[in-house]
Structure 1
Amino acid sequence: LKQAILDGYKVQTRRIVKPQPTQPTTIWYADASDSGKWVAMGPSRKGSAELRKTSSWISCPYGKSGESILLADESGTPFASAVVVGVRIQRLQSLSEADARAEGTLALYHSSSLLPGVPLQTAFALNWCERYGTHAWAANPWVWVVEFRRRQDGLQED
């Protein structure tokens, strides 16, 4: 994936939100003041359209829009810097084909033995399970979606 980032194919990453809400949750809202804080909301009672908080306010540990971040390889060694251009929370299985492409799945797909014609979402799901365990995709956790653009000027942080 390091090469996919350097080549500009990987511009998005997903990380599991911790802790996951323990109550039924339908949506996450970002704080309107752009503080980088998020809160989960869910039905106030079964069948109700009224929403209530199902989590405390949390911040994305991977940065917020406009921030510079360091990108590291699997061993934790930084190899590039990037700017965060967007953060959102969604269910893992809400991944679209465009999202799978932005995750660098195409580069992974071409360098692996996956059968031709497998949808990019399926290729991403297989890779996710390799990384997080057999049932990791089926669990459909809430995930941070962090979109970034690599800086062309090396490793410096602002």
Structure 2
Amino acid sequence: MTDHPILFSAPMVRALLDGRKTQTRRIIKPQPVSPYLENGDWWDETAPGTATPMVLKAYAGDRLWVKETHAHVGDNGDDHMACPDLTRLVYYRADDVQPELSRWRPSIFMRRQDSRLTLLVTDVRVERLQDISEEDAIAEGVERLHSGFYPYGIATFMTTFVDGREVPAQCCTNARDSYQLLWDHINGRGAWDANPWVAAYTFTVIKQNIDQIEKVAA
């Protein structure tokens, strides 16, 4: 078992907290030529008769500690309003805590001790991005909206209210289309069409700091 950090945007952190997200896809670098699975390991046939082991971010049994946009208590002059419980050392952008004078720290700078979510990897697949199924797109945490799914990255003045929250009035008819928009929203226009090889990680979400899990269990 190996521990690795992993970055998530605020919407995806909310999906983890809500229990909607149990998968994530990450682009493999460098891109493989012809990957295949053999005896539980992923290999890349770089030339006929020549194969090299693939190096992925994580493997089944590994743990990922989530890095997200955050702020340390004391960073802002209005901490008492934004975070009245000053026994906490950090608060998180995904919680919709929006003090007027925010000094948010990008997720890349999150310390391991400040992470609040741990992902236990249960399965890893290598596949083309566009091979994602409807079921897997739902597992990626795309958000339901009306009878369809949230249209990530689409700006529109046509809005409505769902559960007291203003959202786009239009929606995607299926989760896969929603995930396509989400992917381009995160990775840039044309990223979906590029159809790269990705590692699809399936995981169990533990709402706890990675170093506190064993302590609590003990």
Scaled by the length of structure 1, what TM-score is found? 0.76
CA radius of gyration, larger in: 2
**Displacement after TM superposition at 1:150 (Å):** 1.0
Structure 2: runs of 5+ lacking an equivalent = 1-11, 70-105, 151-161
Q: Which residue of 1 aligns with 2:126?
A: 89
Check if 1:40 corresponds to 2:44. yes
Q: 1:40/1:123 Cα in 2 relative to 1: closer, same or farther (>3 Å)?
A: same
Check if 1:155 corresponds to 2:192. no
Q: Which residue of 2 aligns with 1:118?
A: 173
Check if 1:142 corresponds to 2:142. no
Please list the CA deviations of residues 100-133 of structure 1 after superposition, one character each: whole Å capped at 9, or x if unmatched. 1000012572875272342211111111111111
Q: Which has the higher contact order (CA 8 A, sep 6+)?
A: 1
For the residues of structure 2 that align with 1:156 and 1:128, how far apart are their CA atoms? 27
CA RMSD across the alignment: 2.5
Secondary structure of residue in 1 paired with 2:192: coil
Shift >4 Å, 4+ stretches = none
Structure 1: runs of 5+ lacking an equivalent = 45-51
Identity %: 29
Q: 1:42/1:19 Cα in 2 relative to 1: closer, same or farther (>3 Å)?
A: closer
Scaled by the length of structure 2, what TM-score is found? 0.57
Q: Which residue of 1 aligns with 2:63?
A: 68
For the residues of structure 2 that align with 1:146 and 1:114, how far apart are their CA atoms? 32
8 Å CA contact 1:80–1:151 kept in 2: the answer is yes
For the residues of structure 2 that align with 1:103 and 1:82, how far apart are their CA atoms? 14
Aligned residues: 141
